[in-house]
Chain A
C-alpha cells in the first residue's frame, strides 16, 4: 500500500512537471558525462604509466672525456669510480633498484649505429664519442627522486637521467584535459543542483494542498518528503544512466573501434573501465539529488 501510494505520487509528480524533469535529466546527463570523461582520462593516464614505466629506466651517465661537470674533473670515469657507484647502488639503494646493468661505450655505439646507420645529422660518430652508463630498473618508477639524490654528485657520475621525463608533456596534456573536463563538470553539476532544487520546489508548491493535508492527518515527515526525494533522484539517476551509456558508446566506437585500430601499440581505456566508472556516476547523481532535496524540502514541506 505504502509503496504503491508513494510510487503513484512520484509518477503524478513527474507527469505534472515533465519539462523540468527533462531538463534535470539532460543537465545531469551532460554534467556526469564530463565527470565520467575526467575519470576515464585519469584511467587512461594510469594505463599508459603502467605500460610505459615498465619499459623505461634510469640512466646514470658516467663521465666521458672532457665533461664540464665538477664531478668529472678527473676526466673519464675510472673502473674504481664505477665500482664505488655500483656498490652504493647495491647497499644504499637495494630496495629501490631491482636490476642494474652496465652499458659500455661499445654497447652504446652499437645501439646508436643500429638506430642511426647513416650517422646522426650527417656526422659519423665513433665509439669514443659515446658515453658509458649504468642502467637501473627501479622497483617503483616513482622512486626516481631518491635514486637521483643518492647518485648525483658522486665522482665519476656526470648526470642521472629519468627516461620518464620523455612522457611528461603527454601526461601534462592529459592532466590538463582532465582538469578541463572536471571544471566543466563542476559548473554543470552546480547547474544540476540548482535545477533539481527548482524542480522539487515547483513540485512541492504544486502539491502544497496535498502536503498540508498530509501534515494535518499525521503523515510522517519521510512519507511526505519521499515522493519529492524520489522524483529528484529518479530524474538524476536517469541522467547518470544516459551519461554512462554515452561514455560507453564513445569508448566503444571512438577508442575500441577506431583509435585502437589506427594506433595499436598503446593500451587504451575500454568498455570495462566505463562499467567501473558508471556506478560512481549513479552514486553521484543520487548524492546530488539528495543534497538538493535536503535543502529544498526542509524549507518547503516542514511539519
Chain B
C-alpha cells in the first residue's frame, strides 16, 4: 500500500538529510506507528506520502502509484485515496461540524444526495451523532478530533495518515481516539500514525517504525514505544530552566546603561 525504496530527502543543499535511505513497506490494512524524536523525519515521511514534497532520491509508491514521478494534475486523484488527521484538528471555524465534513465531499464534486446520506453516517460512526449542527468551538478537543477524523474518512480513503492525532488531548480522550482509529483500521483502511505518545504505542502493540535522524532504527511487528530517553533526549536530560536566554540578562542591562 505504501512502499519507500531507499528514499532520501534533503531540504537544503549540504544539510543533513531529513530522510536517509529509508526503505519501508506498509501492507494493505496494516496499522503502523511512526515514532521518533522531533526532527527525526516523521513529518517528512508523511508529506512524501501525501506528495506535498518529492523525494530527493529513491522511490515512493502509494496505492500502486509512483508518487515521486506523479505529475501535478494527478496529485488530487492520489489525495482522494488518502485521509489526513492533524494534531491541531484543522477544522474550519466558521462552519458547523456537518459542514466541515461535507466540505471534503463538496470540493471534490460529490453530488448532493451522496453528501446528504454519507455525512450523518460518518458522524455517527465517529461518535458525533446529533452534534452535526455544533460549531467546532462548542466541542471538546476529543470531539473536534473526531470531527476531523470524520472529515478524513468520509470519502472512504484506502489510507489514513495521522500526524500526532492525540498530541493535544488528555490520556483518556486519547484512548477514545485510538479506539476509533483502530475501528477504522479494522474496516480495511491502512493507518499510519506518527506519535510521541508512548502509552498508546505500548498498549496497542502494533507495528512500530522508529526513525532517528532520518534513518529507520527499528521496525518491529508488535513493538512498544522503546526507550523514552533515547527518543526524547532533550526533554529527558535537560530541564527547561536551562533553556537559552535565561542567563543572558546582564549583557542586556549593560547595553541599556550605556
Contact = CB atoms under 8 A, between A and B. Distances in A.
Interface of A: 1-2, 5, 209-210, 212-221, 223-224, 303
Contacts of B115: 1
Nearest to B72: A303
Interface of B: 50, 72-73, 75-82, 84, 90, 92, 103-104, 106-112, 115, 151, 155
A218 B111 contact: no
Nearest to B107: A219
B151 A217 contact: yes
A223 B109 contact: yes
Q: Is the interface of A mostly helix, strand, loop or mixed?
A: helix
B92 A210 contact: yes
Contact of A218 (B78, B106, B151): B78
B92 A219 contact: no
Nearest to B114: A1
Nearest to A1: B112
B108 A219 contact: yes
A223 B79 CA distance: 14
Contacts of A213: 90, 92, 103-104, 107, 151
B92 A216 contact: no
Contacts of A220: 73, 76, 108
B106 A5 contact: yes
A217 B155 contact: yes
Given A1-B110, A213-B103, A217-B80, 12 more contacts: A1-B112, A213-B92, A213-B104, A217-B79, A217-B107, A217-B155, A218-B75, A218-B77, A218-B78, A218-B79, A218-B108, A221-B76
A36 to B, nearest CB: 38
Nearest to B113: A1
A210 B78 CA distance: 19
Contacts of A216: 50, 79, 84
Nearest to B73: A221
11 contacts: A209-B90, A213-B92, A213-B151, A216-B50, A217-B79, A217-B104, A217-B107, A218-B80, A219-B76, A219-B108, A220-B108
Given A213-B104, A217-B155, A221-B72, A1 B111 contact: yes
Contacts of A5: 106-107
Contact of A217 (B72, B108, B112): B108
A16 to B, nearest CB: 10
- A2, A213, A224, A303 pick with most chain B CB within 10 angstroms: A213
A303 B52 CA distance: 8
Given A5-B107, A221-B72, A221-B73, A215 B112 contact: no
B142 to A, nearest CB: 20
A213 B151 CA distance: 10
A291 B125 CA distance: 46
Contacts of B155: 217-218
A205 to B, nearest CB: 15
